Structure 1
Amino acid sequence: MSNGTSKTGQTGLNQVGLSNASAFASGTGARTSAEITAIILTAVLVIGGLEVSLRWFEVPQYVLPTPSAVWTALIKEFPLIAPHLGYTLIELSCGFAIGGSIGLILAAVITQFPFAEKIIAPYILILVTTPMLALVPLLILRFGFGFEPRIIAVALASGPMVMINAATGFRRVDNDKIALARSYGATTLQIFWKIRAPMALPMILVGLMIGAIFGLLTAVGAEMVGGGFGLGNRLTTYSSMINMPEFFAVIVILSMLGILIYVFFFLVGKKWASWEA
């Protein structure tokens, strides 16, 4: 019976990790020059094909600008966009730090005290199913057009994602190891820090990654709702002026931020949770 339990627990552990967050992480990456060349050629063909197609069909710039026009706008407008990028990063960093910390604490509490989950779970479900952007106007009425309403919105958006994934990781542990630790007199706190937390690290990183991406989207959306600064404000301004190359330049910056978030947590997981493989 113990062997079956051990195999089941091990199977559950193997299913948890950063590699399950996206198919992009399932492979080992490009290691040969041929693979790198193929990746570069594919990007060139896609971007070049889009450039040629838009020019060939004479698509107006205000409908869909060419990649070259977007690149030119990005270089030209970046000195103006850079301060707004800084504002967005401040909102994301502060809100994610608050929401992520609270999410991790709540995940630890509900896994150690099942009764607490019955109390907290309904409110977490409400936060997950409620679009945080709907609350931004109310937050603006209370806190004004500064950083506060945006940081709160980011925290409310990222916290539940971190909590759900972290709680899943805390629960997916090998029960045989916990039983063995208890037989040696380990306390609940020791079991949590020595067994549950390390084995839950892959899922914690997944939750942090998803929470950060949700936080970025919420921050941009909150900036579009109200306020005179941030990348979301730039999107609203450029679209109202029909400056589509500049509009898509901001979209490119936001895409790069999302990619950097993913790469950061992927590398952290590869360094600190590679034992899972």
Structure 2
Amino acid sequence: MKKLSPKTISRLAPWLLTLFVLVCWEAICRGFSIPTYLMPAPSQIYTTGIELAGPIMEHATHTLLTTLAGFAVAVVVGAVLGMIVGSSPVIYKAVYPMLVGFNSVPKVAFVPVLVVWFGIGTVPAILTAFLISFFPVVVNVAAGLSTLEPELEDVLRSLGASRLDILRKVGLPRSMPFFFASLKVAITLAFVGSVMSETVASNVGVGYLMMSASSSMNMPLVFAGLIVIGIMGVIMYELFARLERRLTGWANRGQNAAH
């Protein structure tokens, strides 16, 4: 039997672990005769997902578009704010405590306020996704810019570079690994924000679907919604991980070589 290479094992490991978890899950549900309304087996979730594939995909598409809209706003606002915060030590010290305090507030507390301002629907979900996902972008971009060595800045200024030149030609490229790393975190948080808002203030989306299913004790549909959200999150995370490796591979040569 041909021995598998470490690279092949690394690629198969997530699939094998997922299969192992599903098999154990199925065995526990069947072995202990756990009622479906408490914990459905993967086979029951799969059957429900196939039967209701149309409605699930419709709600999932809406959630995905809502999440991407909130995420896009978070990236733009977070990158601009991160550049402002990271470009000046004074602004960094002044703004950072406020950002940390804002991020510490549970975003679900903003949903009722957003409903009052914008009504029930898509807008509160987009804004909640934005509010919960922009902080990692701000922090990482600001951290990337603030790690620029003062000695390097002094050398560049002595060569006639302006503050804008230093930011554009050195600071921003230096912060790119931080920026792309923050995108992987921010996109998963954006899903959390949009689904959280949909469970409270929407009549469409996976969050609304799960709330409707739970009210009728249709737990297989609830878990199907959870799995769909998880799959979308993994796909988007992997997309930005590949983008990060392609565009900032120069900053992680050793790590990329290991993969």
2:212 counterpart residue number: 237
Note the 1:26-37 alignment, pairs <5 A.
31-32=7-8, 36=11
Q: 1:30 to 1:153 in 2, by over 3 A?
A: farther
Letter aligned with residue 232 of structure 1: G
Note the 1:47-196 alignment, pairs <5 A.
47-196=22-171
Please report the RMSD computed on the Cα atoms of aligned residues, expressed in angstroms.
2.0
Q: Once the two structures are aligned, what percentage of the paired residues are identical? A: 27
Q: 2:37–2:218: 8 Å Cα contact kept in structure 1?
A: yes
Question: With structure 2 as the length reference, what TM-score do the two structures score?
Answer: 0.88
Q: 1:222–1:232: 8 Å Cα contact kept in structure 2?
A: yes
CA distance in 2, matches of 1:205, 1:89: 20
Which region of structure 1 is more displaced relative to structure 2, 209-218 or 174-183? 174-183
| CA offset digits 1:209-262 (Å, max 9, x no partner) | 222211110110111112211110011011111111111111111111221122
Q: 1:37 to 1:108 in 2, by over 3 A?
A: closer
Q: 1:178–1:195: 8 Å Cα contact kept in structure 2?
A: no
1:16 counterpart residue number: none
Letter aligned with residue 137 of structure 2: V
- Out of 228, 232, 247, the residue aligned to residue 222 of structure 2 is 247
SS of the counterpart of 2:52? Answer: helix
CA distance in 1, matches of 2:47, 2:14: 24
CA distance in 1, matches of 2:138, 2:10: 38
Letter aligned with residue 155 of structure 1: F
CA distance in 2, matches of 1:107, 1:35: 35
CA distance in 2, matches of 1:204, 1:60: 46
Q: 1:106–1:163: 8 Å Cα contact kept in structure 2?
A: yes
Question: With structure 1 as the length reference, what TM-score do the two structures score?
Answer: 0.83
Which region of structure 1 is more displaced relative to structure 2, 209-218 or 112-121? 112-121
CA distance in 2, matches of 1:95, 1:42: 32
Q: 1:30 to 1:150 in 2, by over 3 A?
A: farther
Give the deviation of 1:103 after TM superposition: 1.1
Q: 1:127–1:160: 8 Å Cα contact kept in structure 2?
A: no
Q: 1:254 to 1:141 in 2, by over 3 A?
A: same
Which region of structure 1 is more displaced relative to structure 2, 35-44 or 257-266? 35-44
SS of the counterpart of 2:217? Answer: coil
SS of the counterpart of 1:85? Answer: helix
Q: 2:67–2:126: 8 Å Cα contact kept in structure 1?
A: yes
Q: 1:127–1:156: 8 Å Cα contact kept in structure 2?
A: no
Give the deviation of 1:174 after TM superposition: 4.2
Give the deviation of 1:85 after TM superposition: 1.3
Give the deviation of 1:41 after TM superposition: 4.2
Gaps of 5+ in 2: 253-259
CA distance in 2, matches of 1:121, 1:153: 21
Residue 206 of structure 2 is aligned to residue 228 of structure 1: no
Q: 1:114 to 1:237 in 2, by over 3 A?
A: same
CA distance in 1, matches of 2:66, 2:10: 38
| CA offset digits 1:1-32 (Å, max 9, x no partner) | xxxxxxxxxxxxxxxxxxxxxxxxxxxx9623
CA distance in 1, matches of 2:236, 2:152: 33
Q: 2:121–2:201: 8 Å Cα contact kept in structure 1?
A: no
Note the 1:18-33 alignment, pairs <5 A.
31-32=7-8
